[in-house]
Amino acid sequence: MAEQRQDQRDGRGAREGGRDVPEGWRRDVLPEEARAWEALVATARRTVSEGLVVGTSGNVSVRVGETVLVTPTGVPYDRLTPEDVTGVGLDGRQVLGTLVPTSELPMHLAVFRTTDARAVVHTHAVHATAVSTLVPELPVIHYMTAALGGPVRVAPYATYGSEELAENMLRALADRTGCLLQNHGTITYGASLDQAYDRTAQLEWMCRLWLTASSVPGMSPSLLSGGQLAEVAEKLRGYGQRP
């Protein structure tokens, strides 16, 4: 969520939701967490450079063991450094860093608690957000819909950062790896940051495709049937290079 940047490096200690975070809750960063943080920051910067977010809108997270590393609230991604590692436990308790985690933390934690996700990407991509205001489900305009588990649903609107939004999102994500958030944006997850990001990019592209095709006067785009989508889903199981 786009927010005004807070002064979070003023030496007054870690804070969580405006409250002091006890020093004992924090610990040293593990080597694998440092590597994951570097990859997370690179992914967050990519969402900006490729036009999926503007400013500090959107957020990214990655799970390392029982710790979730997440972008902090209101800090431009190009200003993040290795010392800015921000991490929480699955219970939301901050265990790493002094910067306040993203306000969308409830959504990220909900995904990690209920799926096998290792990474989550949330954006305010323009075309996807536009589609979220028009339909309850993205029409099956392209076979890559199968890569997200099936027709992409739209989660009903709720205030950003709220538990209600997280609950709406989980319902829309049932048997899916991505969904739209009404009047808000997108959220996708995957087994890695690259996979979660690629699913976000594919979702935005499909939304743009549907909007473009639907804009031709007097014409309606052809859509894929459930059978056609199921055939693609089966074929995608063997897609890519073998280990």
Q: Is 88 within 8 Å of 36 (Cβ atoms)? A: no
Q: Which position has the higher pLDDT, 2 or 26? A: 26
Write down the pLDDT at residue 15.
35
Report whether pLDDT(6) > 80: no
**Residue 33 designated active-site:** no
Q: Which position has the higher pLDDT, 239 or 80? A: 80
Give me the phi and psi of 198, to 5 degrees please: -60, -40
pTM of the model: 0.88
Q: In the predicted model, what is the mean pLDDT of residues 203-226?
A: 97
Write down the pLDDT at residue 109.
98
Alpha-carbon gap, residue 200 to 119, rounded angstroms: 12
Alpha-carbon gap, residue 181 to 160, rounded angstroms: 10
User: Six-digit token pair at 196?
Assistant: 């979660």
| Confidence category of residue 47, pLDDT binned at 50, 70, 90 | very high
Q: In the predicted model, what is the mean pLDDT of residues 115-138?
A: 98
Q: What is the dihedral of CA 103, 105, 106, 111, to 10 degrees?
A: 150
Q: In the predicted model, what is the mean pLDDT of residues 215-238?
A: 92
| Cβ burial, residue 14 (10 Å; 0-12/13-18/19+) | buried
Write down the pLDDT at residue 61.
98
Q: Is 84 within 8 Å of 143 (Cβ atoms)? A: no
Report whether pLDDT(90) > 70: yes
Q: Which of 50, 104, 163, 234 is catalytic?
A: 104
Alpha-carbon gap, residue 208 to 130, rounded angstroms: 9
Q: In the predicted model, what is the mean pLDDT of residues 227-241?
A: 83
Write down the pLDDT at residue 243.
57
DSSP summary character for residue 15? E
| Confidence category of residue 144, pLDDT binned at 50, 70, 90 | very high
185 forms bridges with which residues in the sheet? 181
Give me the phi and psi of 176, to 5 degrees please: -130, 160
Specify the length of the chain in residues.
Answer: 243
Write down the pLDDT at residue 18.
35
Report whether pLDDT(5) > 80: no
Q: Quickly count: other Cβ atoms within 10 Å of residue 91's Cβ.
A: 9
**18's torsion region: left (phi>0), alpha (psi -120 to 50) or beta?**
left
180 forms bridges with which residues in the sheet? 154, 186
Report whether pLDDT(8) > 60: no
Largest CA-CA distance found in the chain, in angstroms, rounded: 65
Write down the pLDDT at residue 238.
63
Report whether pLDDT(77) > 60: yes
Which candidate, 118, 22, 117, 15, places its Cα nearest to that of 72? 15
Alpha-carbon gap, residue 37 to 31, rounded angstroms: 10
Which candidate, 63, 177, 147, places its Cα nearest to that of 112? 63
**Least confident window among 26-40, 119-133, 135-149:** 26-40
Half-sphere exposure of 186 (CA within 13 A, CB side): 34
Mean pLDDT, the chain, rounded, equals: 89
Write down the pLDDT at residue 20.
43
Report whether pLDDT(193) > 60: yes
Share of the chain above pLDDT 70, in %: 87
